[in-house]
Amino acid sequence: ELKEKGLLSIKCLAIFHSKVLLCRLREVSRAVTKEVTNLRSEVSYSAIVTLGELFVTFKQDMDSKVDEAARALLQMVWNPPEFIQKAASQTLGIMVENVTPSRALTALMDSRVEYVH
């Protein structure tokens, strides 16, 4: 529950006070991405949704975080439950729409190659 509250706080900061997060975006996005693969589905879902909000809010400032995020999200697209799969798929779409197209493509291709091997 504490992690969920923390993720909600990050999401709210991204929406309403993005400048607060911008100076620590690397650390924040890394912490959120780490929780995407949390075994507790509620925490994982919250992290996936929060990561999507980071992509919407910070757009190309998230370019350098795309590789790690894509790996985590692709992993969750194939893992049940279904609501996690849908959220991960939606966040991947949000990522692609908001970062530099070449960065998104490279991250997805690299993650796919790693996932297959």
| Domain that includes residue 24, residue range | 2-116
* Domain tally, the chain: 1
Using an 8 Å Cβ cutoff, are 90 and 52 in contact?
yes
Are the C-beta atoms of residues 18 and 58 closer than 8 Å to each other?
yes
Q: Assign 111 a pLDDT band (cuts: 50, 70, 90).
A: confident
Q: What is the pTM of this model?
A: 0.93
For residue 92, give both structure tokens. 């991947």
pLDDT digits (tens, 9 = 90+) for 12-69: 999 999 999 999 999 999 999 999 999 999 999 999 999 999 999 999 999 999 999 9
CATH code (residue 53):
1.25.10.10
